[in-house]
Amino acid sequence: MTQNEVKIELEKFADPEKTKILKRFFKTGKGEYGEGDIFIGVKVPDQRKVAIKFKNLAMDETVELLHSPIHEHRLTALLIWVQQFKVGDDKKRNEIFNTYLKNTKYINNWDLVDLSSEKVVGQNIIFFPELKPNIYRICQSKSVWDRRIAIMATFAFIRQNQFNDTLKMAQILLYDKHDLIQKAVGWMLREIGNRDKDTEQKFLKIFYKKMPRTTLRYAIEKFDEKERKFYLNHQPITNLTF
């Protein structure tokens, strides 16, 4: 198996008409967060099929695929790692984890992060808690993608009803100016609330007046109307959105 074979397989699913939609959706215009990204128009379910077919692709080939300028190539590489992580032993999981963190500059759009960080970074830290400082390190990176990887990795902890790291990271990222971080933090707070509303509300009562409005809106999305109005009406409008 080679990365070139993966690319050929993806081309079978490519839809040039879909590329126009994807380029707008993932903000590839000048000055936007996905500036210059290239799409060939392959749907995520089809990329998953290709990832399963090539789930035994060697690490060096997968890294080469991740380094491609084409978005779907990078996402498929990450989906291959997710497949390999599921069935790998400790050595394989750590290899994927370490290689992932060495290559975060290629994990450079929100879908690439969201479909992989929890399942590789977060899950591996559950197996090896001593690796947790890695996400606190990248949480303070200048790269928006590193920061999103960090907060999204904690989704794995939330699924285990472990909330402390998400709450700590939410505090670190509370004043982040990028809307993709504001949305991610709000989303993770909402996920905590879906499992333990009291814990989310304790956090909100301390910080809701300070957090960006985007973060707050995401965090309280599942609250009833009366509760949403309380938080929104008592929170000053900020200009923190990127």
- One domain, residues 1 and 49: yes
Structure tokens at 229: 């109005």
The more confidently predicted of residues 176 and 236 is: 176
- Share the mean pLDDT of the chain: 95
- Let me know: does 107 contact 67? Beta carbons within 8 Å: no
* Residue 41 Rama label (left phi>0; alpha psi -120 to 50; beta): left
Mean pLDDT of 149-176: 97
φ and ψ at residue 135, rounded to 5 degrees: -75, -30
- Please state the rounded mean pLDDT for residues 160-176: 97
Alpha helices by DSSP H, 103-238: 110-114, 117, 123-127, 133-139, 144-153, 155-159, 164-172, 179-195, 197-207, 213-219, 225-233
Query: Of 16-25, 164-173, 228-237, which one has max mean pLDDT?
Result: 164-173
pLDDT tens digits, one per residue of 77-126 = 999 999 999 999 999 999 999 999 999 999 999 999 999 999 999 999 99
Could you tell me if 88 and 4 lie in one domain? yes
Q: Which of 25, 28, 31, 60 is nearest to 43 (CA)?
A: 25
Give the domain extent around 76: 1-121
Do both 116 and 159 map to the same domain? no
State the pLDDT confidence band at 238, using cuts at 50, 70 and 90: low
Q: What is the pLDDT of residues 209-227, one digit of tens each?
A: 999 999 999 999 999 999 9
Q: What is the pLDDT, as a whole number, of residue 1? A: 86
Co-location of 113 and 164 in the same domain: no
For residue 148, being part of any structural domain is answered with no
Number of domains, the chain: 2
